[in-house]
Each structure stands twice: as structure tokens, then as C-alpha cells.
A and B are shown apart, each in its own frame.
Chain A
């Protein structure tokens, strides 16, 4: 039986690493993203690394009109359909303070946009034989921090949505996995202060692939972030509000 992985936001370092990991299993890939030139290079790479077929499609979270094309391609696939959603954007709090309209964009790109797409895709998967739908959340969504709460709020909303999708479609064989990466060594974190325990995209992709195989519901990558966030969530608000984090 053939399996297809639709990868949303395929130009990011983590998505690229995940696409390579999936390619090694001999799956078919659909790479959806903004930078067409870049996607065609990534497609070549995945083909050479074992993907049986690779299609690319222009897709921009800021342009909901581009969603239809992605959905059409997904619906046209044969066999099992799986989805990996790596979209999102994280402007710094100072940028948001300078231009508050960014709040809408952060919510659109990290919550509303992905949710529109994932809802439609989950429905499509449920009508077939099921599959895995995984989506990148963030440890930032586990607790609002003074330096990152707009992004955190969007991701927290996304976590709730994924949890809902998970229970709604469990009976249809659609497994929904929430992935919460800690700090990963990508363009998004390059040069950002305060990074520690930074993981490589390849290591994170491997952990996500394994987690999907084991049908994990919520996956922290690397795993120790589950411990770190467990502790951070336990701190009472009256203390947390005084902490410089």
C-alpha cells in the first residue's frame, strides 16, 4: 500500500529534515510552501533519498486562496494520506510592541490558518482509511511568558484544537499527534538570546518519526522538555510572575 506525506511549510529546517526522514521510507511526498525554487531543490533531494514521488505546491498561510490547491492535491492522492504541519512564525515581542497589528498575523499564521487546513484534511483522511496527522505546537504554548505570549497564546490555542481533533477523529483511524519542540537549531532560533539544550533538526525529525510510529498523542522533542515544562507548569502564578523568564 502506498503512503503519502503532505508536508505543510516544507521550507523550514525541521520540515526539511522530516521530509528526508520520510523519504528514506520510500513514501510519496507533497511539499507545500512559499518558496517555489527552494521547494524544487528540496524535492530533488527527497527523490534521491528514496521518496517514490515528490510533488510541490505553492502555499502561503497569508493567502487562504492558496489552501484550495493544497487540498485538491491531497484529495487526489491514492492510498494512505498523512499530514505533517510545520507552519508558523515567531516575531519577537519587541517587534509586536512596535506594530501591534502583528498580533493578528501571529494568530492567523499559528492558529487560524493551520486549523482551517487541518480540519479539512482530517475530514478527508477520515473518509479514507485513516492515517497520521501531526502538527507542530510549541513549549511556548504550555505557559505564557512575558517575552513570547502572543506566539504562546496562538500555540496554546492550537494545542487545544489538536486535542479536539484527536478525540473527534480517533474513531475514524486518524491519529492526531501534537509535537512540542523545545529549542531547535534552525533559522528561527539563530542568534536568539537565551537558547540552551539546542537540538539538531535531524535529531528532532527522527524523534517525530518514531513518535508517529508509536502513535504518541503529545510528543515533546527532545524528550527532556516534558520534564522541564512539567516543572514550569507547576510554578504558582504568584511566583511565576516575578521570574525573569
Chain B
């Protein structure tokens, strides 16, 4: 059957959609599904909120359109269908000495999803965002017509589609530029940082191409913003890491796992597991880029109520002060979960609704309690005031007015999307909530 009635959720499991789901295995079936009415396009369903959902409507999953179409081992380019998981693409590329130039935090995100959210990685300062490496892509409209978008031809349509959250059409395939990967192992240097200043200084002066910091979002007072700085570069050795088995979280964990004392104790242990003097380890590339992928369905650890992730970027100038205020509020709220990440971003962005800007980005998981809403509203207001923005791929809590204030190219996006999809056949719960497709 083409359609299956089922429930789909964002990764945070708060937003849910009861919808007719299709999972075409061929382009002709994809076209048939699009012909039947408005849909949201979904890939690995790794966006935290409602970015891929279409409650009460239709959702098209691209995960079975996952074929490799071309690989240029000399020039470093690969072309594949949009549903291929970025981790599977990495597995194919590494033995050839290449990897995607930009990797998000999970290998389960699809190629199409990485483009639609214009994801960034742990090397944003050097490599820019995912969409900047798109050589061309093929976009199918609601009538099943496929057009090729590239920076040379149809640049506006391409810049609307990169970061366009799937609202300009169905991405069916893309060709991307790659990064040489001289080893399948990363040499990772980990150091404890006592507070936010030290952590940000560490990220600013990281000598390696890849850097990221885990941050203890429960730490208060002088320890606010303490964390572990990870700096990484390709290892000198070239072992082929052995495949390790994945584990699966079999059921929803009890909510008590997110009780503030439990999280504080966990975070303290996680911080102190790094020796005082720091440590250097060689780790398989997959484990460095996708640290949680070996624990399938880890989102169930947050219990059946689910969770939110807020991710902000704040421009360089005010970043210290703003992030300090945010972290103080988060720590005081008692809502923080162990997963919190700080990274430094460069200017690179590929599309009109792309998230990155030069500055620092903070991502924090929050338990889905009622108090999360006012907290997020306060944090967002502070970020808007500082000229920063919120990441749509994670968002579940922001309002339309804040989005308009944070995304100056929103009207240009609306105009371009209107041209590509005049009947509004590509729609999501997020687009309705944030008025992303309202007339310009």
C-alpha cells in the first residue's frame, strides 16, 4: 500500500503527528505520493520538534530512496539519493579516503535532511555549513517534475532549498563536495574547563580543525558553564576500526532519571571522568562525530514525556555575557538534561533560512515540563536582543514573531518558496506554527 496510517514524532517526542505515511522505494512512487495532496517531507526524523511533521495530513519518508549515484574519487565529490543516511555515506567514503565536508551530530540524518536544515558540524569555522558543499541537487515539485538546481543555474531556488526545511519541494538527490580523510581514526584531546570563560577561550584558540565542548548546564555560581573541551584532528595511525554492536533502549525510562539531583550527579561524574591533566585518545571517526548513534532510540531515556532541545547562536561580541545569563537561567530552572553542547561557528551559511552566524552556539536538552516554555521564551528574547538566532531543526518552542526577527531573509525565502511551490503542497506543522510560508 502507498499510505500507512501511523503516528510520527520529532526526535524530542513531544510533537506528534497522526498522519498517512508513505515511504516510496522509487521516484515514480514518490511522484505518485506527491500527486495526492499536500505533504511534509521527512528523512531520518532526527529534527527535535515539528520540522518534518504534518499532523492530520500526509508525510513522505525518503529513507528508501538511498542509492549512491556517482563518486569522483579524484575530485572528491559524491552524488546520492536524498534518503541515504549521512553515516552510511561516511561508511562508503572513508575507505576511499574521503568524508562529507560537514557532519551533523547524528549519522541517522539523511542527505536530504542535512541540506534542508543546512546543518553544521564540529568544523564550521573551516568548512562552513553543509549546504555550502552542494554542487547541485534535484528537486521534485508537486506535479512530479524534477529540476536541477545549482549555484550557476537557479541560484535563488537553491538558496531557498538549502536550509528551507523541506518547504520548497522534495529533494530527490544531491551532489556534494567532500573533505579528504587521511585516517579513519581521530586523535581527540579532552580537557576539563572550570567555567564558561575558559571554555570559550578554549574553543576560540583550538588549534585543530574539529572542536566541540560538552557543557554542564546544571553548574552554578563560579562554575557556571564549566565543561569538557574536545579538540580533534585526524590520527596519524590508520587502523580500520572494528565494527561494534549497537545497543537499543528498549523502553521509556522513568521520569525520575531527569530529576535535578540525578542530572547534577551524572554531570559531575561526567566532568570528573576526564583526568585533571586532560587526556588524548584515538577514536573511530564515527564515534567522534556521532557519539550517541551506538545507542539506538536514546531519546527514550528521557521518558515518555519527551524533551526539547533549544539551540541558539549568539554573535561574537555579546556572546560571553548572553550565554552566561542563559546558562544561569537554565541551571536555576532545574530543567537541564545532561546533553548540552557549546561550539564556535564561523560565518558560513548556505541558504536564506540557514542557522549559522559567526559566534558561539549553545544547545541544551530540557525536560518537557510546563516551565520549559517560559524559560525558552526568556532565553529567546535575550538571544533576539543580542542579534542571535534559534536553530529551526531543533525548535519546538519559538513563536513566529521571534523567528521573523531572527531571520532577516525570511521574506526572500517566502517569495522563493512561493515560486517553487505556488499551491503550498509542501507544508509542515513547523511552517504553520512559525508562519514560514505566509505571503511575503
| Chain A residues in the interface with B (C-beta under 8 A) | 11-13, 16, 35, 37-38, 41-42, 44-45, 48-49, 186-187, 190-192
Contact = CB atoms under 8 A, between A and B. Distances in A.
A245 to B, nearest CB: 20
B70 A44 contact: yes
A13 B71 CA distance: 23
22 contacts: A11-B25, A13-B64, A16-B25, A35-B26, A35-B28, A37-B27, A37-B28, A41-B69, A41-B81, A44-B68, A44-B69, A45-B68, A48-B70, A49-B68, A187-B23, A187-B24, A187-B29, A187-B64, A190-B1, A190-B2, A191-B1, A191-B4
A13 B23 CA distance: 11
Contact of A48 (B1, B23, B25, B71): B71
A35 B32 CA distance: 14
Given A48-B68, A48-B92, A191-B5, A11 B23 contact: no
Contact of B25 (A37, A186, A191): A186
Interface in B1-39: 1-5, 22-29
Contacts of A12: 25
A199 to B, nearest CB: 15
Contacts of A192: 1
Interface string B58-73: 0000001001111100
Given A38-B28, A41-B69, 16 more contacts: A11-B25, A13-B25, A35-B28, A37-B27, A38-B26, A41-B67, A45-B67, A45-B69, A48-B70, A48-B71, A186-B25, A187-B23, A190-B2, A190-B22, A191-B4, A191-B5
Contacts of B69: 41, 44-45, 48
Contacts of B24: 187
B3 A49 contact: no
A42 B80 CA distance: 11
Interface in B189-217: none
Contacts of B67: 41-42, 44-45
A92 to B, nearest CB: 9
A12 B64 CA distance: 11
A84 B65 CA distance: 22
The 10 closest A-B pairs by CB, nearest first: A191-B4, A45-B67, A191-B1, A48-B68, A38-B26, A45-B68, A44-B69, A187-B25, A41-B67, A48-B71
Contacts of A16: 25
B67 to A, nearest CB: 4
Contacts of A187: 23-25, 29, 64
A187 B25 CA distance: 7
Interface in B90-139: 92
Nearest to A38: B26
A96 to B, nearest CB: 16
* Residue from B4, B67, B68 having most chain A Cβ neighbours under 10 A: B67
A167 to B, nearest CB: 36
Contact of B27 (A38, A45, A191): A38
Interface in B338-382: none
Nearest to A47: B68
A42 B81 CA distance: 11
A227 B392 CA distance: 48
Interface string B222-243: 0000000000000000000000
Nearest to B173: A41
Given A44-B67, A44-B70, A11 B26 contact: yes
Contacts of B92: 48-49
Nearest to A39: B26
Contacts of B26: 11, 35, 38
Contact of A191 (B3, B29, B81): B3
A45 B64 CA distance: 13
A184 to B, nearest CB: 12
Contacts of B70: 44, 48
B44 to A, nearest CB: 15
A192 B3 CA distance: 10
Contacts of A35: 26, 28
B69 to A, nearest CB: 5
A187 B2 CA distance: 7
A42 B64 CA distance: 12
